[in-house]
Structure 1
Amino acid sequence: MGDPGGVGAEVIVKAYERLRGNSRPIVIGDASVITDAIEVCDVSLSVEAVDSVADATFEQERVPVLDLDAIDELVYGEVREGYGSASLMYIERAIELATDGDIDAITTAPINKQATKLAGSEYAGHTGMLADYTDTKNYSMMLVEDELRVTHVSTHVSLRKACDLVTTENVLETIRLTNTALRDLGVESPSVGVAGLNPHASDGGLLGDDDDAEIKPAVEQAREEGIDATGPESPDTVYVRAARGEFDCVVSMYHDQGHIPIKMLGFAGGSAVSGVNVTIGLPIIRTSVDHGTAFDIAGQGVASEQSLIDAVNVAADMASRH
Structure 2
Amino acid sequence: MSDHRPRLGITMGDPSGIGCEISVKAYEEARDVADIIVVGDADVMRKAMQICDVDFAVNAIDAVSEARFEASVLDVLDVDNVDSTNHDWGDLRKEYGKASLEYVEHAIDFASDGDIDGIVTAPINKQSTQMAGSDHAGHTGLLAERTGVMTYSMMLIEENLRVTHVSTHVPLREACDLVTTENVLDTIYVTQDGLRDLGFEDPTIAVAGLNPHASDGGLLGDEDLEEIVPAVERAQKEGIDVEGPKSPDTVYVQAARGNYDCVVSMYHDEGHIPIKLLGFGKEGEVSGVNMTVGLPIVRTSVDHGTAFDIAGEGIASPRSMIDAIEVAVMAVRNR
Q: If the TM-score is normalised by the length of the shorter chain, which range does it land in? A: over 0.9
Aligned partner of 1:311 in structure 2 is 324
Pair 1:5-2:28 in alignment: no
Pair 1:130-2:160 in alignment: no
Pair 1:102-2:115 in alignment: yes
2-structure distance, mates of 1:306, 1:161? 34
1-structure distance, mates of 2:133, 2:188? 33
RMSD across aligned positions (CA): 0.7
How far the C-alpha of 1:269 sits from its partner, in A, is: 4.5
1-structure distance, mates of 2:282, 2:183? 36
Give the partner amino acid of 2:14. D
TM-score, normalised relative to structure 2: 0.95
User: Aligned runs of 1:158-307 on 2, under 5 Å?
Assistant: 158-307=171-320
Give the partner amino acid of 1:280. V
How far the C-alpha of 1:217 sits from its partner, in A, is: 0.6
What is the aligned-residue identity percentage?
63
1-structure distance, mates of 2:266, 2:314? 37
2-structure distance, mates of 1:192, 1:28? 35
Q: Which runs of 4+ in 1 moved over 2 A?
A: none
How far the C-alpha of 1:272 sits from its partner, in A, is: 1.2
* Unpaired stretches in structure 1, ≥5 consecutive residues: none
Which residue of the other structure, out of 52, 59, 71, is the alignment partner of 2:63? 52
* Unpaired stretches in structure 2, ≥5 consecutive residues: 1-11
Cα deviation 1:19-63 (Å, max 9, x = unaligned)? 112110100000001100010011112100011111011112210
Which residue of the other structure, out of 162, 175, 179, is the alignment partner of 1:149? 162
- 8 Å CA contact 2:196, 2:334 repeated in 1: no
How far the C-alpha of 1:271 sits from its partner, in A, is: 4.9
2-structure distance, mates of 1:269, 1:150? 19
User: Quick check: 176-185 or 153-162, which moved more?
Assistant: 176-185
Pair 1:68-2:79 in alignment: yes
2-structure distance, mates of 1:281, 1:243? 23
Aligned partner of 2:129 in structure 1 is 116
1-structure distance, mates of 2:141, 2:98? 16
- 8 Å CA contact 1:289, 1:308 repeated in 2: yes
How far the C-alpha of 1:317 sits from its partner, in A, is: 1.0
- 8 Å CA contact 2:125, 2:305 repeated in 1: yes
- 8 Å CA contact 2:284, 2:317 repeated in 1: no
- 8 Å CA contact 1:17, 1:61 repeated in 2: no
How far the C-alpha of 1:10 sits from its partner, in A, is: 0.3
- 8 Å CA contact 1:28, 1:94 repeated in 2: yes
Give the partner amino acid of 1:58. F
How far the C-alpha of 1:270 sits from its partner, in A, is: 2.7
2-structure distance, mates of 1:201, 1:96? 42
Q: How many residues align?
A: 322
TM-score, normalised relative to structure 1: 0.99
Give the partner amino acid of 1:39. Q
2-structure distance, mates of 1:158, 1:58? 44
Q: Secondary structure at the match of 2:48?
A: helix
